[in-house]
Structures are given as C-alpha cells and as structure tokens.
Amino acid sequence: MSQDEPGDRLTRERAATASRIEAMLRERDGIVDSAALGATDDEHDPEGATLAFEREQISALLAQATARLGALDAALSRLEDGSYGTCVRCARTIPVGRLRARPESLTCVDCGVRA
C-alpha cells in the first residue's frame, strides 16, 4: 500500500492531529498552573490579560483540532463503508487533488464553493 492511499493519508493526519491536541492540552495545563501560582485576579494582574488571552487562544485551537479529529474519524468511517471520495451534495467523485489537500473533504470543489 503506497503512502498516497487515502487510508494511509487519513491515518497519518489523524495521528498528527491527535498529537497536536495532546501538546495543546499540556500547554493549556501549563498556562492554568502558571495562573494558579500567581494572582487570581486577571483584571488587575499585569500578566492577567496575557494569561487570559493565552487560555482563550489555546481553547480556540483545541476546539479546531478536536473538530478536525472528528472530521478525520468520519472520513475513515466513509472509507470503510465505501462512500469516501463521493460528494455528499451532488454524489460526484471528489477530485483526487482536493482529497490530497483536505482528506476529510465531504464535497467536491463546485459544491464546496457554493456552501
């Protein structure tokens, strides 16, 4: 099986995304621990605004990565049931280039633009 096989690509992307999530969770825990060591009043602490921003930023990145992980899992399920690579809107084949760029794609380029 070559590295260009959809299952291989999806599995690699899933592993990379899961690793990013683990790293971000460790980073978030470090931010929370850092905040716990100092003053608890973000509004009046000179570092508070930075810590609050970092917490919100990591939360947003975690949400994005978690959503991507779900999309990759769904793509792996579609691969198993034979519907991977078929546009969910028009039922045409999704171009290989799109699947290489975004292996979790649900739509062809035309339907993706219209969304």
- For residue range 29-69, list pLDDT tens digits in order: 888 887 666 555 555 555 556 777 888 999 999 999 999 99
Compute the distance between CA of residue 44 and CA of residue 111 in angstroms, rounded to an integer: 49
Considering the domain architecture, whether residues 63 and 10 belong to the same structural domain is answered as yes
Considering the domain architecture, whether residues 64 and 109 belong to the same structural domain is answered as no
Judge if pTM exceeds 0.85. Answer: no
Total number of domains in the chain: 2
Minimum mean pLDDT range among 28-37, 56-65, 88-97, 101-110: 28-37
Domain assignment of residue 2, given as a range: 1-84
Compute the distance between CA of residue 61 and CA of residue 28 in angstroms, rounded to an integer: 11
Instruction: Kindly report the average pLDDT of the chain as a whole number.
Output: 87
Compute the distance between CA of residue 75 and CA of residue 29 in angstroms, rounded to an integer: 30
- What share of the chain in percent tops pLDDT 70? 83
Considering the domain architecture, whether residues 17 and 52 belong to the same structural domain is answered as yes
